[in-house]
Amino acid sequence: MAPRISRRTVLAAGAGAAGLSLSGVAAHAAGRTPTGVRFTLNAQVLDGGEQVTSITLETARFGPIDPAGLTTATFGVHAKGTRPFATTPGGDLVTDYDLDRTVTAVRLDHSGNIVLELSYAEGQIGGSTLSYLAAQGRNVLLDLTYTITQHAPIVLRNHRSVVIDEFVQNPRLSDPEVDAFSFHVSGSGMKYRLYSPTESRSWWHKKRPLIVWLHGGGEGASLPDNYYDNETTLRANRGALGFATPQAQRIFDGAYVVAPQSTSYWMEDGPRFAPLIHEIINDVVRGNGVDRDRIYVAGCSNGGYMSLKMTTVHPSLFAASVPICGVVEPFPSGETPLIPDSELALISTPSWLVASSDDPIIDAQANTVHAHEVIPGSLITLYDHVVWNDHQFLGHYSWIYVARNDPSIDGTHIWQWMAAQRRR
């Protein structure tokens, strides 16, 4: 009877070591040499935010593994997600979850490493890489500690078996979509992420469009805690990522996608942020082969406001604008509109506004519908609810539809409409 193997692990992603355990006792007892393995957390950004969806164990060096000997019971996985700084009056770190993850499948990747597929779904507790701090209205990247437990030996094709006595977590998440965006800082100190289209090295032969994505309120900096990570802009939703997908890149014939990160809230001081965003756009245009006649701006919620604001401050900069659940009326309280009708009426940039009628945070009628009625020639898509893949989201999440190229008018979808626009 094969020995039951005791465990385990651990190094936290984005944090220090969380402790190592297991001597090689079980392995020695079985007459095998104890060995250590590093592992990587693989993540994917769902419409409701990023989740860890699988784990890759670096086992290729053991030699060919017999996949028939791998089952969902071979390994156990425990996950712990802790906020990166104190968010309680007592100064204690808060743990969002501390639980076992379900292994749904075990396979070998093309390199011969073992991959543990994990159960995940929209809204599922325990898989998220982010924590939303309601009191601050901010998303922060959790410090993740995963503990791997081996319950049965790994059988190799030469009939040898391997017992792992130490699992060490790699410090960075692996998310190919997020990792495709490079990190930059403008001269004024504003951080941004940039996606460069495939074969962009040949930019001198063909200039490319540029899509500017302006994030919502939850993805800005949290300066009281000195938290300015520039990652939540990509991990919290698929807003920027949607434009970097193969489908979008085909429609736009290869586009740069830039995602600036606010140092607070765009709505807090739109006139001050507008030139800072413009500076980033100029940086990208100067350093890459960007077609100045095909620069597009889109944003959600707080960024929906900023998308509109950019077209009032820089009326001849953009070929098209897509404000999603944006704010123009006084918010959260006050008497002065964030963008008065006198400014909205002067917008000349082709605009397609998107929102959901059941938005509980931004009144769609008072903001999106009203702006559409004032902006000359603007288009609008107003949904009843936000439902995608049979999952109903909060009505505020209407950016999901734009990230999936769902809005359409007379058979033309929103990405195709954007791509067809040229600066007037």
Count of domains for the chain: 2
Nearest to 60 by CA among 173, 176, 162, 172: 162
pTM reported for the whole predicted model = 0.91
Of 169, 189, 218, which residue sits at a domain end? Answer: 169
Instruction: Identify whether 1 is part of a domain.
Output: no
226 and 209, same structural domain?
A: yes
Instruction: Identify whether 54 is part of a domain.
Output: yes
User: Residue 252 carries which side chain, given as an amino acid letter?
Assistant: F
In which region does residue 54 sit, left (phi positive, over 0), alpha (psi from -120 to 50) or beta (all else)? beta
124 and 31, same structural domain?
A: yes
267 and 399, same structural domain?
A: yes
414 and 283, same structural domain?
A: yes
325 and 237, same structural domain?
A: yes
360 and 311, same structural domain?
A: yes
189 and 68, same structural domain?
A: no
In the block, tokens 């107003």 appear at 382
Instruction: Identify whether 18 is part of a domain.
Output: no
261 and 211, same structural domain?
A: yes
**Dihedral pair phi/psi, residue 354, rounded to 5°:** -135, 140
Instruction: Identify whether 3 is part of a domain.
Output: no
**Dihedral pair phi/psi, residue 108, rounded to 5°:** -105, 135
Of 124, 149, 169, which residue sits at a domain end? Answer: 169
300 and 205, same structural domain?
A: yes
165 and 180, same structural domain?
A: no
Its domain, for residue 270, covers 176-420
187 and 152, same structural domain?
A: no
Of 152, 169, 186, which residue sits at a domain end? Answer: 169
pLDDT of the chain, 424 residues: tens digit per residue: 333 333 344 443 343 333 333 333 343 334 454 579 999 999 999 999 999 999 999 999 999 999 999 999 999 999 999 999 887 777 889 999 999 999 999 999 999 999 999 999 999 999 999 999 988 889 999 999 999 999 999 999 998 999 998 999 999 999 999 999 999 999 999 999 999 998 655 445 689 999 999 999 999 987 666 788 889 999 999 999 999 999 999 999 999 999 999 998 999 999 999 999 999 999 999 999 999 999 999 999 999 999 999 999 999 999 999 999 999 999 877 789 999 999 999 999 999 999 999 999 999 999 999 999 999 999 999 999 999 999 999 999 999 999 999 999 999 999 999 999 999 8
Instruction: Identify whether 16 is part of a domain.
Output: no
Instruction: Give the CATH number of the domain where residue 97 resides.
Output: 2.60.40.2180
Instruction: Give the CATH number of the domain where residue 265 resides.
Output: 3.40.50.1820
Query: Which SS3 state, helix, strand or coil, does residue 343 take?
Result: helix
Instruction: Identify whether 132 is part of a domain.
Output: yes
